[in-house]
């Protein structure tokens, strides 16, 4: 098993949580977990919560190998051999990492004994992005899910599955590539008719429960396409590992990234929730394997130290030892054996992890959302306004502010006419990104697809719109200006 273990001082973790601007401790932990993963592996890419993918995406394998070498020290394999190990394990040049963190110790929140497993491995449910579009990936996940539920949970299902696939294939797509609420509502009604006429919703719900409750059908479900979506999400996993030190009463906070995890049918369990929903978890036995890897890293004193850079990014800065963390001498194995591993250690879920309800638990099959763009924008503004003036904001937070500011300056309707851009599909706003912020040197690198700058040949003020928005944001937050560099 390949992994990286890093320690973060409890006070620094608490400060980082408060700096997120969120009130909920679980959301704070989730945000910090993502920031730590992103910083340690030196990537600026992260998935949106609506994507269903892992939180941190596009991490080069060489970055992972570099961090492992830094933490392992003399005991580390060479960068070349690490690259080969990771590439052979994953089969790709870049990897996605699911990042999870929480303050609760394993065994809490009502889980005891054989129910200890609390490492949630769900995929994201549908959401509307800041400009009101519905996630196309979510629709495809629903197709995969529904066809499997019908096939496994109903008799004489073959023809119904074929018809459902036809309905998804014929789903109307707007010119700009977006599904509409009306399209989804029509699709939902047609699927109900296919599976059971007036009783369509109840029939699908019964099929859903049949699959979840029957061990043989659940095994088939996990072996199928949707089961792979679930396990693929946590093939590479950063989890917060909380270890209790009885001698001091303190909880030690570690963030450990496991690369290339392999799963068997027994490794994924499901638990029913409210309104007919189910959540998927890693089993207790699987968690114990992760904990054994943690113990091995502690025995090797292969522990990185998480610190915060001037630009607000978390990095692994040097190595430490368990003796140094606990500030006491003694035999390393004896110290490790004194820690609480048996009933309170690995933890998760948090922030972006939500129960995987299938959108068929009493409301709309496809969980279509009727929120208006104005409401979504108001929500985003409420979140981003929590960035205190003068406080370092992350690139992701400034990206959100930039998209909102640019959208507010664009025309929303009418005939397109220079110099002001008109928003149609929302793709222009979505492509904007703050790639990097250097607070020490007052530099902001931002990104926008080059093709949009060709609009300046027709009189549109693209660069002025983007840079003017960034300058307005930084002036309000920091009362100073930054040098802007287009990446």
Q: What is the pLDDT of residue 151?
A: 92
Higher pLDDT, 389 or 354: 389
Q: Please check the confidence at residue 104 and state whether its pLDDT lies above 60.
A: no
The pLDDT value given to residue 431: 82
How high is the pLDDT of residue 216? 92
Pair (8, 67) in one structural domain: yes
- The range of the structural domain enclosing residue 94 comes to 2-125+229-338
Which has more pLDDT, 16 or 393? 16
Q: Note whether 113 and 243 are same-domain residues.
A: yes
Q: Is residue 367 part of a domain?
A: no
Please tell me the distance from the alpha carbon of residue 377 to that of residue 383, in angstroms, as a whole number.
Answer: 10
**Band (331; pLDDT cuts 50, 70, 90):** confident
At residue 116, the pLDDT reads: 38
Same domain assignment for residues 101 and 156: no
Least confident of 171-180, 235-244, 398-407, 452-461: 171-180
Q: What is the DSSP string of 208-241?
A: HHHHHH-HHHHHHHHHSHHHHHHHHHTSSEEEEE
Number of structural domains in the chain:
3
Residues 119, 238 share a domain = yes
Query: Considering the entire predicted model, what is its pTM?
Result: 0.66
Do the domain assignments include residue 22? yes
Instruction: Say if residue 117's pLDDT is above 50.
Output: no
DSSP-based three-state secondary structure for 263: coil
Tell me, yes or no, whether 315 and 260 share the same domain. Answer: yes
Is the domain of 319 the same as that of 293? yes
pLDDT at 105: 40
| pLDDT at residue number 137 | 67
Would you say 97 and 55 are in contact if contact means Cβ atoms under 8 Å apart?
yes
Cα angle 311-317-320, degrees, rounded to a multiple of 5: 150
What is the β-pairing status of strands 483-486 and 443-447?
Answer: parallel
Give the confidence band of 295 by pLDDT, cuts at 50, 70, 90: confident
| Model pLDDT, residue 136 | 65
Choice among 52-66, 89-103, 232-246 with the minimum mean pLDDT? 89-103
pLDDT, mean of residues 40-50: 74
Could you say which of 228, 244, 270 is where a domain stops?
Answer: 228
* DSSP states along 284-307: HHHHHHHHHHHHHHHHTT-EEEEE
Higher pLDDT, 205 or 163: 163
Alpha-carbon gap, residue 470 to 76, rounded angstroms: 43
**pLDDT bracket for residue 479 (50, 70, 90):** confident
Q: Above 50 in pLDDT, residue 250? A: yes
Q: Is residue 359 included in any domain, yes or no? A: no
Residue 84: pLDDT band by 50, 70, 90 thresholds?
confident
**What local confidence, expressed as pLDDT, does residue 160 receive?**
92
Helix, coil or strand: residue 308: strand
Distances (CA, A) of 336 to 100, 227, 322, 406: 24, 36, 8, 53
On whether both 17 and 76 belong to a single domain, the answer is yes
Comparing 365 with 205, which gets the higher pLDDT? 205
50, pLDDT greater than 90: no
Share of the chain above pLDDT 70, in %: 72
In a domain, 360, yes or no: no
In a domain, 353, yes or no: no
End of a domain among 176, 202, 228?
228
pLDDT level of residue 343 (50, 70, 90 thresholds): very low
Encode 275-304: b = buried (16+ Cβ within 10 Å), e = exposed: eebbbbbbbbebbbebbebbbebbeebbbb
**pLDDT per residue over 138-157, tens digit each?**
677 778 888 998 999 988 88
Answer yes or no: do 248 and 118 share one domain.
Answer: yes
Mean pLDDT of 400-422: 80
Classify residue 362: in a domain, yes or no. Answer: no
Which pLDDT band holds residue 202 (cuts at 50, 70, 90)?
Answer: confident
CA distance 238 to 95: 13
User: Beta-carbon neighbour count of residue 429 at 10 Å?
Assistant: 19
Distance from C-alpha of 455 to C-alpha of 457, rounded to nearest angstrom: 5
- Tell me which range, 148-152, 410-414, 427-431, is most confidently predicted by mean pLDDT: 148-152
Which residues have C-beta within 8 Å of that of residue 48, sequence separation ≥ 6?
Answer: 127, 129
The whole-number pLDDT of residue 448 equals 86
Residues 221 and 285 in one domain: no
Query: Domain for residue 352, yes or no?
Result: no
Q: Band the pLDDT of 449: cuts 50, 70, 90.
A: confident
Q: At 413, is the pLDDT very low, low, confident or very high (cuts 50, 70, 90)?
A: low
Lowest mean pLDDT, pick from 18-32, 67-81, 328-342, 380-394: 380-394
Based on the domain organization, do 59 and 154 belong to the same domain?
no
pLDDT at 91: 61
The pLDDT, as a whole number, for residue 129 is 44
- Mean pLDDT of the residues in the chain: 74
Q: Tokens 């090797």 identify what position?
A: 300
Statement to judge: residues 115 and 238 lie in one domain: yes
Quote the DSSP letter at residue 319. Answer: E
Answer yes or no: is pLDDT of 183 > 80.
Answer: no
Q: Specify whether 179 is located in the same domain as 281.
A: no
For residue 320, the SS3 value is: strand
Identify whether 192 is part of a domain.
yes
Q: How confident is the model at residue 109 (pLDDT cuts 50, 70, 90)?
A: very low
> Does 5 have pLDDT greater than 90?
yes
What stretch of H or E contains 469? helix 462-478
More confident residue, 195 or 74: 195
Please say if the pLDDT value at position 366 is more than 70.
no
């Amino acid at each position: 098993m390949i992994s990286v273990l890093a320690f973060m001082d409890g006070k620094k973790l608490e400060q980082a949580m408060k700096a997120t601007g969120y009130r909920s401790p679980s959301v704070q932990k989730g945000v910090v977990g993502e920031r730590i993963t992103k910083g340690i592996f030196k990537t600026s890419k992260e998935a949106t919560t609506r994507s269903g993918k892992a939180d941190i995406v596009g991490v080069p394998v060489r970055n992972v190998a570099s961090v492992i070498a830094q933490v392992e020290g003399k005991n580390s394999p060479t960068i070349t051999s690490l690259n080969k190990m990771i590439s052979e394990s994953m089969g790709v040049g870049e990897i996605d990492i699911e990042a999870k963190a929480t303050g609760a110790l394993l065994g809490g929140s009502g889980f005891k004994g054989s129910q200890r497993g609390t490492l949630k491995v769900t995929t994201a449910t549908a959401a509307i992005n800041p400009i009101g579009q519905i996630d196309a990936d979510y629709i495809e996940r629903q197709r995969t899910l529904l066809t499997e539920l019908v096939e496994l949970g109903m008799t004489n299902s073959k023809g119904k599955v074929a018809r459902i696939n036809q309905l998804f294939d014929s789903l109307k797509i707007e010119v700009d590539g977006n599904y509409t609420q009306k399209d989804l509502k029509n699709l939902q009604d047609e699927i109900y008719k296919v599976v059971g006429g007036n009783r369509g919703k109840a029939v699908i719900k019964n099929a859903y429960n049949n699959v979840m409750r029957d061990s043989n059908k659940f095994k088939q479900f996990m072996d199928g396409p949707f089961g792979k979506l679930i396990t693929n999400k946590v093939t590479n996993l950063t989890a917060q590992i909380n270890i209790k030190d009885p001698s001091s009463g303190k909880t030690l906070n570690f963030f450990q990234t496991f690369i290339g995890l392999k799963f068997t049918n027994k490794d994924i369990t499901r638990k029913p929730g409210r309104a007919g929903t189910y959540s998927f978890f890693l089993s207790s036995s699987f968690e114990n394997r992760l904990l054994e890897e943690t113990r091995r890293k502690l025995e090797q004193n292969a522990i990185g130290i998480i610190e915060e850079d001037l630009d607000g990014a978390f990095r692994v800065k040097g190595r430490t030892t368990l003796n140094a963390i606990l500030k006491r001498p003694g035999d390393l194995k004896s110290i490790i054996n004194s820690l609480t591993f048996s009933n309170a250690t690995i933890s998760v879920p948090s922030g972006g992890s939500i129960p995987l309800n299938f959108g068929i638990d009493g409301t709309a099959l496809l969980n279509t959302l009727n929120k208006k763009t104005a409401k979504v924008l108001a929500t985003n503004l409420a979140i981003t306004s929590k960035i205190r003036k003068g406080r370092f904001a992350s690139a992701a937070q400034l990206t959100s502010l930039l998209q909102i500011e640019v959208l507010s300056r664009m025309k929303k309707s009418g005939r397109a006419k220079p110099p002001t851009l008109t928003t149609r599909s929302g793709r222009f706003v979505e492509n904007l990104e703050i790639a990097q912020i250097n607070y020490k040197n007052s530099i902001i690198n931002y990104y926008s697809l080059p093709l949009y700058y060709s609009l300046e040949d027709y009189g549109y003020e693209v660069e002025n719109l983007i840079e003017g928005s960034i300058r307005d944001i930084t002036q309000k937050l920091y009362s100073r200006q930054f040098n802007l560099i287009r990446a």
